[in-house]
């Protein structure tokens, strides 16, 4: 009786671009929350001012992560820059050191 050994070769998953799912609605929701936070500070909640300013840092970090992820998915600096209304060079200068 002949036995044949089968070797399994690992399958490397192919990255696919994700479909856009509720991005517009999600972004609108985030904007409403940030504006509401600003209104809360404006009504005298001075203690919340520092938290509101910290959101700016978090947003910059999130944008950097998003750009790094898009580059990993294969998007070019030109594609990223065009979506942001800036040049390829400007996008690359701003985020290339983070990737």
Angle at 62 between CA 25 and CA 35, to 5 degrees: 50
Taking only the tens place, the pLDDT of each residue in 45-91 is 999 999 999 999 999 999 999 999 999 999 999 999 999 999 999 99
Residue 93 is assigned to a structural domain of this protein: yes
CA distance linking residue 51 with residue 41, whole number of Å:
10
Host domain of residue 39: 23-98
Distances (CA, A) of 13 to 10, 16, 35, 65, 73: 9, 9, 41, 22, 13
Give a yes or no: residue 17 inside a domain.
no
What percent of the chain clears pLDDT 90, i.e. is strictly above it? 70
pLDDT given for residue 38 in this prediction: 95
pLDDT band per the 50, 70, 90 thresholds, residue 21:
low
Q: What is the CA radius of gyration of the chain?
A: 22
Task: Please give the average per-residue pLDDT across 89-94, as a whole number.
Answer: 95
pLDDT for res 10: 53
Q: How far apart are the first and last CA of the chain?
A: 55
**In the chain, how many domains are there?**
1
């Amino acid at each position: 009786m002949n036995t044949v050994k089968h070797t399994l070769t690992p399958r490397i998953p192919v990255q696919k671009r994700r479909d856009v799912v509720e991005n517009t609605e999600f972004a609108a929701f985030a904007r409403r929350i940030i504006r509401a936070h600003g209104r809360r500070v404006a009504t005298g909640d001075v203690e919340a001012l520092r938290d509101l300013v910290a959101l700016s840092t978090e947003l910059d970090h999130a944008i950097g992560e998003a750009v790094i992820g898009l580059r990993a998915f294969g998007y070019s600096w030109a594609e990223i820059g065009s979506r942001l209304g800036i040049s390829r060079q400007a996008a690359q200068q701003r985020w290339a050191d983070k990737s």
